[in-house]
Structure 1
Amino acid sequence: MKQTNEPGGVIIGQRNRLQYIILGLLSQRAQTGYDLTRAFDHEIGEFWQASHSQIYPLLQRLETGGDITHEDLITGEKLAKKQYELTPQGRTKLNAWISEPSPELTATKDDFILKLYFIKSADDPRLAPMIAEQLQLHRDQVEHLQARRQTVFPTDDAIQAAYGHYLILEHAIERETHYVAWLERQAATNH
């Protein structure tokens, strides 16, 4: 039986993880909702997806709960933007989440793998095109990730300044490289 670490029996790691990603991004620097949304298009998007429609309501809930606060910034003549920052309570919440164990493996959602499950024969005519498509997608992803590594981590100082991010990027490169190798073997045997 799992132990709880909050009143009411809620296990912190099972609550909405998106809130912790937002708290973590705001721990790096104050940001607007637009800045946070863009982070999911770039770095965070490599391992976690979130949409505009998920981020903005969560920002409001985090602010109501006292984890973040905002300052109105005026850009141009009239355009006001909210720039969010972490409160001490939010920083404590983020640090508690980072420090807790991560004992569960979560399944990845991969449509290709799901579709493969329903292929019953190596002679299925759908198999070779499916593998070829995935091979190209994953080769492109390896190339993209390697380019990101060059851009984001050009020096040892850059690596040390964001070491956890660097480790995630290295993990993604290795994962995609292994996926490509597996697909290449399947393409060779399923001609």
Structure 2
Amino acid sequence: MAQKNLLPMILLGLINIEKKTGYDLKKDFETEIGEFWSVKHSQIYLELKRLEGNGEIKSTTGFYGNKIEKTYYEITKKGKERLESWLDSYSDILNVNKDEFVLKLYFIKSRKDPRLQDLLQEQYRLRSKKLEHLKERMKFVFPNKESKNDNFGHYLILDHAIRREQEYVNWLEEILEK
């Protein structure tokens, strides 16, 4: 089954928050969105052209601040309608998690496989590092209880990511102890 292209919805959602440049959108993917969705830089600009061609966003190019030419994208009424329609819809399909580590584990048949320990240790290192990063992001983005109310959906996503990574780290610790 073909995977649904959700990049237009992500871009519409980000631009709906505030006008953004392509660079701003790239930065959003490197920080917050990148915790749960990845995209190539070139895909952003291709999709922005499509959205503009469809009349769902409009662009304004000019010189801003320090005389650098920038193009800002802004959502249109048509774009807001599409975004709202998507937000109101539900899918009954669970996405497949593409995890190369899990795939490699699947093909290791023996506990005595010499690659197993290194594979587990490396995954533990990576997951522990990601967990710490997520905890730091939580402290930075939501420094107090009141701040989570300003963007509760974002808070829930970050909380979910922390819990997911904590469980992954716990599972790896348990396996490595055996």
- Residue 182 of structure 1: aligned partner: 171
User: Which of 66, 75, 85 matches 2:55?
Assistant: 66
- Determine whether 1:170 maps to 2:159: yes
Unaligned runs of 5+ in 2: none
Aligned residue type for 1:173: I
The one-letter amino acid paired with 2:79 is G
Deviation at 1:174, TM superposition (A): 0.3
Q: In 2, Cα distance between the equivalents of 1:23 and 1:17?
A: 10
Please give the TM-score of this superposition, normalised by the length of structure 1. Answer: 0.89
Structure 1 CA distance for aligned equivalents of residues 150 and 16 of structure 2? 14
How many Å apart are 1:81 and its aligned residue? 1.0
Alignment of 1:91-106 (within 5 A): 91-106=80-95
Paired residue type of 2:168: Y
Is residue 49 of structure 1 aligned with residue 49 of structure 2?
no
Other structure's SS at 1:82 match: strand
Q: In the TM superposition, what whole-angstrom CA distance separates every residue of 1:110-157 from its partner, at most 9, and x where no partner exists?
A: 111000010000111110111011001111111000000000011233
Distance 1:114 1:47 in 2: 19
| TM-score between the two structures when normalised by the length of structure 2 | 0.95
Aligned CA-pair RMSD: 1.1
* 1:141 corresponds to: 130
SS at 1:162's partner residue?
helix
In the TM superposition, what are the counterparts of 1:123-138 in structure 2 within 5 Å? Answer: 123-138=112-127
Which of 12, 18, 21 aligns to 1:29? It is 18
Which runs of 4 or more aligned residues in structure 1 lie more than 4 Å from their structure 2 counterparts after TM superposition?
A: none
Q: CA deviation at 1:53?
A: 0.6
Alignment: residue pair count: 175
